[in-house]
Chain A
Amino acid sequence: MKKLLAKMAISRQPTIFVLALVIVGSAIAEPQFLTTANLFNLLRQVAPNCIVATGMAIVIIAGGIDLSVGAMLSLGGVIAVAAQPSFGYGLGILFALLAGAAAGLTNGLLVTRLRINAFIGTLGVMTIVRGVALTLSRSHTLPGQDPAFAALADRPIVGIPASTVLAFALFLAGHYFMSSTPAGRSIYAVGGSLEASRLAGLRVERSLLFAYLSSAVAAALAGVVVASEINSGSPVLGNDTPLSAIAAVLLGGISMRGGSGTMIGMLQGVLILGVLTNGLNISGVGGFYQIVVVGSLLILTVVLDRLVPRKSRRK
């Protein structure tokens, strides 16, 4: 049984086939799928998850995990909207990103300085950030004040929504950073083996700090995008954000054990989830079934992740 499962996922290549499969499947099952309107819709649906997953991928490659992204997404939106009346939306977005940086720094310092388990540290920060978002908004959904902010995310740039362009730009930056810069390569090294990287003289703390920083800032940015799409800031959004982001990252072939996988894989994972969700939506399958599907996919991928033999498998 174990061997059979391992064979099914013998290499990291299947991601692209799975992606092709879900696209072809959706196109055949639902004629609506391949319409311009739906594809536009699909692109704007995947943008927030793509932004969050880009940061999450960096953290997971660094051997960590960030569970605070959902609360951060929510807080980002709340800040961006709450700041509009007095500061305008430009500064509001800046404040949101700064809050993301603060949360990311906290995560990073908890993991590097206090050596707290990443999962617990980010879970604690998640609760704190959620509490801040609820306090700031007095537990209400804040309505957006500025029509220009509301139009921001969906403004088409050459037929593609601005949020998607932003997500893709961020993905390209992340891809370049992780594959072609020394700092990115050292994140792979740190994720592969913390001790070896430390012995090799890499600045382990700095790499980890950067990973958590980028994840939280990306989540805050995604929160701004979502806030613009729905033109309001909600303190209760994002409970399943970590679920979707981690699922996309693992579907994309990035290992929970750290140090392996690519950003291109992550993008494929995001698209698989996006197409699947979109396909389920237009076939009239409701949100709760989608939670079940994504949750099952997550379990399946994390089990496969464990079974896939790796050249550099560590005991």
Chain B
Amino acid sequence: MSGPSAPSIQTVRRFAAELGDLMRGRMAWPMLLLIGVALSILLPPFLSLNNLLGILRQSSFVGIVAVGMSFAMIAGCFDLSVGAIVGVGEVLLLTAHPTDIGSTLLGVCSALVVAALVGLANGLAVGWLRANSVVTTIGSAFVVLGLTLIYTNAQNVTVVSIYPALEFMSAGRLGVLPVPGILFLVAAIIAQLGLSRTRYGRELYAAGGNPETAELSGVRIAKVRIIAYLISALLAAVSGMLIACRVLSLNPPYGYGFEFDVLTAVMLGGMGLTGGRGSVVGTVAGALMLGMIGNGMNLSGIAYELQLVVKGALLVGAVALDERFRPAWQSGQ
């Protein structure tokens, strides 16, 4: 803090802190609107119905995983294994050659079972044994990636045709709306209701906000975290299957690096890093924001390599803003 000789700076700071208080966790939607307006002024092709619906479709794959990751983040844990789970979900569905109802069910079930096992393992290690969540989930990400590579022999996985229902889920439209976009929004609404209306939601915020107090008041942290990791892993597998049905051909290393986009979306949505804060409503805005920015960069022809740089800067910027406003918010508690 600067000395008392600069009262104007202090006033500005106090104002900024109060503004931060007010906007805490609600910044994502105004930001989304702002970016949308800016992009439609700068890039005329941006503001067409087709392009906007395309953004919704593109964002939904990241968004579904981000909804799941929000649970882990609210519980105060990171989940970096989602990229690898997306990959194993893709591979398991496509290698089942889902051309009829039987093989489709087999593929979907095996993907969900594997995802649940990984989520359970993460949850046990981080929730029950209290291991560091970053390192644990990096470890499990590589275990899953390695097993997927062994399973496929590191070959491309390609199918020619898939079951029509799967095609509808990933590429179809309901009215004008893309189906994965609808799935994303439905998942988000259910998740938000679960967070704000159920006992589990309250326990999740409590476990992330202050584990010791939560434990003393009877919240079983291990259970809460295991469920959070399960939700995160299952939604990652769902998203992986949707992606697989869309692209029909996968290259190794499957899904690697996807977790980075998801994390950026979640952080842009105003999630707190230390748990106990944030909402799925914010995450939805974060995912759409990331999709819009990516779309804007594509439209203006920015190379993939530079897009990486921009995304990295976005992640750091989102977290920097969060950290900047947090002290004011916490003292307001």
Contact = CB atoms under 8 A, between A and B. Distances in A.
Contact of A123 (B154, B305, B315): B315
A191 interface: no
A290 B131 CA distance: 22
Contacts of B311: 127
B315 to A, nearest CB: 4
Contacts of B281: none
Interface stretch (A32-40, A158-166, A294-302): A294-302
A121 B134 CA distance: 13
Given A117-B319, A128-B312, A128-B313, A305 B140 contact: no
Contact of A116 (B131, B142, B319): B319
Contacts of B212: 315
B153 to A, nearest CB: 9
Interface string B233-258: 00000000000000000000100100
Interface string B174-205: 00000000000000000000000000000000
Contacts of A256: 132, 135
Interface string A53-81: 00000000000010000000000000000
Contacts of A298: 135-136, 138-139, 142
Contacts of A175: none
Interface stretch (A20-28, A131-139, A179-187, A221-229): A131-139
A292 B142 contact: yes
Given A292-B142, A299-B140, A306-B130, A124 B315 contact: yes
A292 B146 contact: yes
Contact of A119 (B121, B134, B145, B303): B134
B216 interface: no
Interface residues of B, number: 45
A131 B312 contact: yes
Contacts of A250: 135
B128 to A, nearest CB: 9
B22 interface: no
Contacts, number: 141
Contacts of B100: none
Contacts of A242: 138
A246 B138 contact: yes
Contacts of B256: 239
Interface in A278-315: 286, 288-292, 294-299, 302-303, 305-307, 315
Contacts of A296: 139, 143
With a 10 A CB-CB cut-off, give which of B303, B319, B324 has the most chain A CB atoms.
Answer: B319
Contact of B316 (A2, A110, A315): A110
A83 B191 CA distance: 52
B139 A126 contact: no
A243 B142 contact: yes
A242 B256 CA distance: 14
A16 interface: no
B6 interface: no
Nearest to B130: A306
A53 to B, nearest CB: 14
A120 interface: yes
A127 B311 CA distance: 7
Nearest to A242: B138
A291 B212 CA distance: 36
A289 B142 contact: no
A291 B141 CA distance: 10
Contacts of A126: 312
A290 B145 CA distance: 11
A56 to B, nearest CB: 12
A116 B312 contact: no
Contact of A131 (B138, B145, B309): B309
A307 B138 CA distance: 19
B147 interface: yes
Contacts of A127: 260, 308-309, 311-312, 315
A240 B146 CA distance: 11
B260 A306 contact: no
A132 to B, nearest CB: 7
Nearest to B154: A288
A139 B303 CA distance: 11
B147 A131 contact: no
Contacts of A65: 134-135
Interface in B301-333: 303-309, 311-313, 315-316, 319-320, 323-324
Given A134-B305, A303-B125, A124 B312 contact: yes
Contact of B132 (A291, A294, A306): A306
B118 to A, nearest CB: 11
B129 A294 contact: no
A302 B130 CA distance: 9
Interface string B104-134: 0000000000000000010001000111101
Contacts of B136: 298-299, 302-303
Contacts of B313: 124, 128
B267 interface: yes
A250 B145 CA distance: 21
A288 B149 contact: yes
Contact of A246 (B135, B149, B263): B135
With a 10 A CB-CB cut-off, give which of B121, B136, B312, B320 has the most chain A CB atoms.
Answer: B312
Sorted nearest first, the 4 A-B pairs with minimum C-beta distance are: A127-B312, A131-B308, A291-B146, A295-B142
22 contacts: A114-B323, A120-B273, A123-B260, A125-B316, A131-B307, A131-B308, A243-B138, A246-B135, A291-B145, A291-B146, A295-B138, A295-B139, A295-B142, A298-B138, A298-B142, A299-B131, A299-B135, A299-B139, A302-B125, A302-B131, A306-B129, A307-B129
Given A128-B313, A131-B309, A294-B142, 12 more contacts: A2-B129, A110-B316, A116-B316, A127-B260, A243-B142, A247-B139, A288-B154, A289-B146, A292-B146, A295-B142, A298-B138, A302-B125
